[in-house]
Structure 1
Amino acid sequence: MDIIDPHLHLFNLSDGQYSWLKPENPPHWPDKNTIHRDVNQAELQLDSGLDLAGFVHIEAGFDNAQPWRELDWLAQHCTLAFKSVAGGDLTSEQFPEVLANLRRRPSLVGVRHILDDDAHALLSSSVFRKNLALLAEHGLSFDAQFSLSDSQATQVLCKVLNNTPTLRVIINHAGWPPLQSNTHNWLQAFDRWQHNLGALGQYPNVAIKLSGWEMQNRAYTEADMQTVMMACLQILGERRVMLASNFPLTTFSQSYADLWQTYGALLTSVEVHEPAQAEPDNRLKSLLLYKNSASWYQF
């Protein structure tokens, strides 16, 4: 079965900056040194039964001042079909000029400006909102990385979507859902996350990518993954959910091939247990592993 991985990173340390990967800079993970190296397409190996048909490269801090340089490097070195979500400073009045440069690169489909703890302040900024509207005007999506447990940020993103209804927003890393394997008072926390996902789910231009499990708990479980996946499917439906790797960070916990085998097994389990269905028809698997990513990222 073909898959498209909608969230991964490749590194070229000799030409790129990657300040976040340097040991003296945050994040100060004890295992960060394992990914402080060149990472290229050849490492994206899958086990038999799965074929990587394409991927979406998410900005990795190659050059924050000139983010088009990362897209140029990818175009020179990648042979698989790929799309790019570029970095961009949406707080800058000069972002339209940066975007004009980015739009000359054919792989561009979207932009990410990491929100995280600053989500409410950033999404409330008039300059930030103006630049989001510019993305929508050019048919580009916004990769939103923040915690869906942040109710204030969720509310202000809903206001942005009301004001810019054509903006496509793709939530990164499942909106950092509370994982039962390492969350105190998990049920209460998970209910808040689900409630806020439901608020965003009212907007048809919102989708979600499930990845980054290792960022919350290096020892995350398959039960964590299944709980989050089923909640996303219930709230957003089967055409707005994508499964992704976050490679090479996923290797903090398991190999690239093993992660995709786990996803496949979880989806097979869901399909087998559908009512009045004796054999899995692979429809859901095809959507979450390939078709949804192809659609949302304009392959």
Structure 2
Amino acid sequence: MSATIASLQRQSVLDALDNRVLLCHALGLNRIALITQSERVLTAAEAQRFAALVQRRLAGEPIAYIVGRREFFGLPFEVNDAVLIPRPDTELLVELTLDRLPFKGRVLDMGTGSGAIAVALAHTRKDADVTALDVSPAALAVAQRNAATNGARISFLQSDWYAALEDAAPFDVIASNPPYIASGDRHLSEGDLRYEPVGALTDHADGLSALRTIIAGAPRHLKPQGWLLMEHGYDQAAAVRELLTAAGYQEVQSWRDLADIERVSGGRLTA
């Protein structure tokens, strides 16, 4: 007997949300069409296409990579295995940056990956001068496409942290979601992280080396009273605050995400 959309939803071995997303992708339908066409019988080609997607998900591949997109800050983003999958936790970093970015201010997104942070900032604040950098040409290509898709005006640079910024004007805010998972952490071999670019996840050290580099270099590229804001691991807030305080930043603090985890820490440059 040929399968209908409704039967594939009832009999799915996947989580209901995953199953629905893959069905929409395989059939080229939105969620409403999936409901209104629930009794439609799939063609052989559609059934085969859907079965192949299910197998990829059962093997552990992230949904975002399978369908090639993820929403972040209410905007659509292309994602592939050259970039991290944008996560809701990181929206906190965007909100904190927006709160501290003056009118026509300059902001730098370090390690932009898919461009999620920079695009969200530039899309929300058309007046802002947004610069985004990454060491990976493949990641920058994805970020540039995402900027174009969302009508975001951004200056992109290929750079190993601050290396390409020698002649750049200073910024009002520097924001970053750098690699912060320690080498050997078991999470690197679990779940979606197995498929994401390892260099964007771990510093291959204690998890704090990239954060140290960003903290040490920021004063040369921040305006007086400028802010440095960084996402970090669930258990790193105290260590990051200590690094910021030792480097002379003021108003050092951490902010909690929706799961009540200290997810972003930062400080203000006083001179």
Band the TM-score falls in, shorter-chain normalisation: 0.3 to 0.5
Higher strand content, 1 or 2: 2
TM-score (norm 2): 0.35
**Which one has a bigger Cα radius of gyration?**
2
Larger RCO: 1 or 2 (CA < 8 Å, sep 6+): 1
